[in-house]
Every structure is written in structure tokens, then in C-alpha cells.
Amino acid sequence: MKNTALEQVIQFGEGGFLRGFADWMLQKMTDVGAFDSKVVVVQPIEKGMCDLLTAQNCQYTHIIRGAEGVETSVIDVISRCVKPYEDWEAYLSLADIPSMRFIISNTTESGIVFCETDIPENAPFISFPAKLTLLMKRRFEQGLGGFILLPCELIDRNGDNLKRCVFQYAELWGLGDDFKAWVEEENIFTNTLVDRINTGYPKGEELHLGYEDAMVNTSEYFHLWVIETEYDIEKELPFSAAGLNVIVTRDKLEMYRTRKVRILNGAHTSLVPYALLSGLDTVGSCMEDETMKEHIRKCVFDEIIPTLDLPRDELIDYANNVLIRFSNPYIKHYLSSIALNSVSKFKVRVLPSILEYHKRFGVYPPTLTFAFAKLIEFYRTDMTNDAPDVVAFMKTASVKEILSKTEYWGEDLTCLYDEVARYVDP
């Protein structure tokens, strides 16, 4: 039976990520009696999956699968769906509900943008921040309290960027100083970092649920939500009561982002060229290969973790979870897809660890510099997938020419020549 709790959450997005991340967490808190509210899903684009969700009374099955096992649950925290492109007033009227408190969004990396051609008269054919601004304007006009905003878009400082867009629209549309003061004083824009692989509907699989469910969603076990805010959000969203891996921090979001980029993404990027050159095709196959597994272990535990500033036990725990995730038999992560644009990825994900290691210990990390050599060797093959000019240069240039290409690395890296050239033809 659907419960009749008050609607407190407006969620922009009905896709697999939010349903397997935020809604799953809200369900967990509801199941332990720590949270009692419902979610109204707003379909952020004209064509989406809200009709399918509505046809199932907004209930769906979520299946967590990994090396740890399989866990199935029914998610029923969504009360209804609203489609602004069909009923704009139904969307705006969400602002009239006094109990509404939270706004969660995942409108893709390109969703949080300011477009100076957006005008209210064109609604709903305007950007997500423009839609949000009009919703907040309606809320302000009703004399109601503000929202706690939890954007999940994968951009740096997502909350700060969303807030900036709202103020830009307020200025563009002449909404007045009182409205801008209300946005500033009554609303809490958090910056967040989200981490969970959601694999969506398991096409071609027989699930044996005993019932039909067109909205089945699947994910890995691991989940992490880092929320940066000075507000004590736990008193309204008691994540800890449900044992969820949510970190609320005042000022350390960037440290956690760096941890993810250096350990999770850095492990991928330092592994892929070596593994593809060795004839492997997926991350999972690498975890079954002792040579590759040892390579990853040395990169992460011996050379990346010593360059990071979070508590060592936290870093070790996160790294162990990364290796478990890499071994997930239900996720087929092809190395060729990770290899896309490997030069720019290496600059962001691996090079900072190499340089920081040298800064702290006076020597260059041998396994990561070996990975650099394998990157160069990889680009001399026909397996690469990068911009044509990058591929052409990397395929024919010498190691010294590559290392001195400041356009690629942000600085001259010929200081690494001896370390890299020992592993690859100069």
C-alpha cells in the first residue's frame, strides 16, 4: 500500500541514476522510520519515462548486484510525476505546497547553464535553471520558505553554479531585490559529489520477479554522496540513521573529489593502455589477471594514496571498495571506452599523482611512470581513440618531444625523460 506522507521532495529527473541513488536512499531512510515524505518527479525534458513510471503507480524494483551478492527492493517513495511540457501550471503549483523542502536534480553535465535568450514567455522550453528560477519566484510570491537544493550534476561546484544561474535569471528578468534577498537568505544551495554506477534496465535478462516491471533499475552496491554545506542537513535528511555512505562536510568536497579522480579514475587511466597492449578487453578481465591486478594495487596503494591528504584509513577503505567495484561481474566495462581521449585524461587523473609524489618524496613513482610509458606505447598503435591531431603527434613523436608538449600536460615534463624512456623506445 502506498503511504500518504507529505510531499517534501521535488526531483528533476526520472532516469536510472536518481532512481537508483537518491530515491533508493530516501527509501532506505523511510524503511527504518527516519524519514516520512514523498517525492514528486519532474520530467526535465519533453520526452522521458514518466508515463511508464506513472503506469506503475510510481513504484519500481531496484536490484543491487556485485561481487557482494544480489539485493532486491521495491522503491515506492515517489508519489507522482509532473510533465512541464504538457502541464506547466502543474509544475509551477509545486511551489504552492508548504511542505516542499528539497530539490534534487540530475539534468546531465550540460543542464546547469545560463542562456540569455531564455524568457519566461517561452516556458517550458527553457533551461533547467530558468525553470527553477520561475518555480522559486512562485514560491517567493506565496510567502513560503525556501528549499534545500541538492544538485547531482557531474560538474565542479554544482550548487554554486546553479545558484549563480538563478541570480543571472533574476537579474535578466528584473525580478527585484526582494526576490534575490529571499533566494540568498531562505535557500540552501549545496555542492555535491555523487558516485554510484547505475546500469539501468537489465535488457535480455530473465529476472524471475514474479511480476511485470518495465522500470526495473540495477546498480552496484557502492554508493557515495558527499554534500558540502554549513547547514546541519542531517536533522532533516537523517542519512546516518539508515547507515548510508553520505558525507556532510563544510569545506572538504574538493578533497573527496580529488580522492575519486586520483584513485578511481586514476586507476582506470593508468591501467588501460597497459591492459589493452596485453590483449585484455574489460576492467573485470584485468581483475582476474594477476599482473594487472598487481599493477593496479601498486599504483593505488603505493603511489597514489601517499599523495592524498584525507585520513589514511579512509583512503584505504575507499581504494578497497574501488577494487571490489572493478571486480563486479555484472558490469562489463570495456577498456576501449575508458581509453577515449587518454592523453587529456592522463593529465587530469594521473599526472598530478606523479608530480605530487616527487614533491613529497624526492623520487618519481615507478609504477605510474611505467603507466606513462605504456600510454606513449599505446598511442603508437592503431587502437587509440582521440582527436586526430593528438593521435598523429603521439604516434610519430619521440618520448622527449611528447614530454615537452606543454600544450598536452600544462608544463614541460622532460624531467621525467629518464624514468619514462627506460620502459619505451625513445
Using a pLDDT cut of 70, give the percent of the chain over it: 99
* Residue 343 phi, psi (nearest 5): -65, -50
1 lies in a domain? no
Domains: count for the chain: 2
Euclidean distance between CA atoms 238 and 250, whole angstroms: 17
| Among 374, 130, 172, residue whose Cα is nearest residue 269 | 374
Residue numbers of the domain that contains 301? 254-421
Cβ count within 10 A of residue 140: 21
Last residue of a domain, one of 204, 222, 249: 249
Angle at 424 between CA 420 and CA 426, to 5 degrees: 85
List the beta strands (DSSP E) in 244-382. Answer: 246-249
Q: Is residue 294 domain-shared with residue 221, that is, in the same domain?
A: no
What amino acid occupies position 301?
A: F
CA dihedral 227, 193, 62, 284 (to 10 degrees): -140
Q: Are 241 and 282 in a shared domain? A: no
Is residue 426 one of the residues assigned to a domain?
no
342, part of any domain: yes
Claim to verify: residue 93 and residue 201 sit in the same structural domain: yes
Provide CB contacts within 8 A for 205, sequence distance 6+.
none
Instruction: Measure the N-to-C terminal CA separation of the chain; round to a whole number of Å.
Output: 69
CA distance 185 to 251: 20
> Are both 13 and 96 inside the same structural domain?
yes
Instruction: Among 46-60, 200-214, 397-411, name the one with the lowest average pLDDT.
Output: 200-214
Report the alpha-carbon distance of residue 404 to residue 390 in Å, rounded: 14
- pLDDT at position 1, please? 40
pLDDT in tens, 333-358: 999 999 999 999 999 999 999 999 99
- Report the C-alpha gap between 327 and 288 in whole angstroms: 8
From 249, 268, 296, give the residue that closes a domain.
Answer: 249
For the stretch 33-76, pLDDT in tens is 999 999 999 999 999 999 999 999 999 999 999 999 999 999 99
Residues 193 and 116 placed together within one structural domain of the fold = yes
SS3 106: coil
For residue 291, give the CATH number of its domain. Answer: 1.10.1040.10
Angle between helix axes 366-379 and 266-277 (nearest 10 degrees) is 50
Domain-ending residue, one of 204, 229, 249:
249
236 belongs to a structural domain: yes
Residues 258 and 239 occupy one common structural domain: no
- Neighbour-count burial for 383-394, b at 16+ CB within 10 Å, e otherwise: ebebeeebeebb
Say if residue 23 is in the same domain as residue 66. yes
Tens digits of residue pLDDT in 83-109? 999 999 999 999 999 999 999 999 977
Across the chain, mean pLDDT equals 95
367: in domain: yes
The structure's pTM equals: 0.90
What's the confidence (pLDDT) of residue 4?
Answer: 67
Do 28 and 129 lie in a common domain? yes
CA distance 262 to 309: 12
Q: What is the CATH number for 95?
A: 3.40.50.720
In a domain, 223, yes or no: yes
d(CA 78, CA 5): 10
Give the gyration radius of the chain's Cα atoms: 24
Q: Where are the alpha helices (DSSP H) in 57-157?
A: 88-92, 128-141
Query: Does position 2 have pLDDT exceeding 60, yes or no?
Result: no
Is 152:12 a contact under the CB 8 Å cutoff?
no
Cβ(349)–Cβ(261) under 8 Å? yes
The pLDDT of residue 203: 87
Handedness of CA 129, 135, 139, 145 (dihedral sign): negative
**What is residue 153's DSSP assignment?**
-
Between residues 331 and 81, the one the model is more confident about = 81
The answer to whether position 285 is within a domain reads yes
- The mean pLDDT value for 251-275 works out to 96
Residue 325 covered by a domain:
yes
Does 354 lie in the same domain as 205? no
Residues 29 and 135 both lie in one domain: yes
18 and 120 part of one domain:
yes
DSSP SS3 for 211:
coil
- Looking at the structure, tell me whether residues 171 and 224 fall in a common domain: yes
